[in-house]
Amino acid sequence: MKEMRKIKQSREDKIFDMIKITILVIALILVLYPLYFIVIASVSSSQAVNTGQVWYRPIGFNLEGYRRIFDHAMIWMGYRNTILYTFLGTSINVLLTLTLAYPLSRKTFRGGRFIMIFLLITMYFNGGLIPRYLVVQKLGLYDDWKIMVLINAVNVFNVIIARTFLKSSIPDSLFEAATIDGCSHINFLWKIVMPLSKAIIAVLILYYGIAHWNEYFTALIYLNDEKLYSLQLVLRSLLIESQAQDMLESADGAQQQDIGELLKYGLIIVSSLPVLILYPLLQKYFVQGVMIGSVKG
């Protein structure tokens, strides 16, 4: 077989490729540099950071901020609580979203149009904070860890994405073939639909997981016991309410400011690291699921 001749690029194509690569490199630097700066600033002298000396490498290398962070009991308590809330909450979210999206994606499901209209209305109108607070209080969920995993159990936008994915990716003929072998809707959902929906499941895990990991407003409103605080609420307490002073009792003057700056950048890294690790693992499914679930149907 003859080798295929290479298509010779024109001068305009080469110029376009150079411009495209340059723009992408600049965009990559703009995205990654802030994260890199936070990393080097968390191990640098605050005086060097404030005077603009730190911009490509750490100056006055210091791990004191991280040592104080990991020695603080509230940080570990917040981590434990947030991991629990994220795992349980995401599991409930994905389960309820898929079990709701599946029947809505079937043409034979009666009342699906009415339910979709009802769900869409809830995207634009809600009772507000005070009625929700009163309902939570009446249900006995105030100052209870279960409120963190139950209050936003289903997101309508995610239901729409999952419904569109299932409608376009799981044909009715597949269910008809399964029913011939005596498969029910429940068995079809668990044994056939779920294994074929890894892409959208990964998208839902990422959406719900990040939302739970970054959640602090729910904890701020409905939790009063510090032992139930999420990580983000712990960080808010340390940074905004100046409770970080408990970790600075032995420091004085400029040293307080120095350690305070180290704590600020260190807390950002500590709270963001799990998400930064998780996202690359799900990126392939994330792109695939979003494209299928939003463009088709």
Number of domains in the chain: 2
Tell me the whole-structure pTM to 2 decimals: 0.78
Residues 6+ apart with CB under 8 A from 258: 45, 46, 47, 62
Residue 239 lies in a domain: yes
Residue 276 lies in a domain: yes
pLDDT of the residue at 257: 59
In this structure, the answer to whether residues 83 and 216 fall within a common structural domain is: yes
Residue 48 lies in a domain: no
pLDDT of the residue at 251: 47
In this structure, the answer to whether residues 33 and 154 fall within a common structural domain is: no
Sign, CA dihedral 112-113-118-121, equals positive
The residue with tokens 């009063």 is 224
In this structure, the answer to whether residues 137 and 181 fall within a common structural domain is: yes
Cβ atoms of 68 and 247 within 8 Å: the answer is: yes
On the question of pLDDT at 263 being above 90, the answer is no
Segments forming the whole domain that contains residue 35: 11-41
Give residue 2's region: left, alpha or beta (phi > 0; psi -120 to 50).
beta
The number of helix segments (H) and strand segments (E) in the chain equals 15, 0
Calculate the average pLDDT of the chain: 81
pLDDT of the residue at 206: 84
Query: How far apart, in whole angstroms, are the C-alpha atoms of residue 34 and residue 27?
Result: 12
Cβ atoms of 266 and 66 within 8 Å: the answer is: yes
Model pLDDT for residues 178-203, shown as the tens digit of each residue: 888 788 878 888 888 888 888 888 88
In this structure, the answer to whether residues 116 and 21 fall within a common structural domain is: no
In this structure, the answer to whether residues 195 and 270 fall within a common structural domain is: yes
In this structure, the answer to whether residues 20 and 160 fall within a common structural domain is: no
Calculate the CA 119 to chain-centre distance: 23
CATH number of the domain where residue 229 is located? 1.10.3720.10
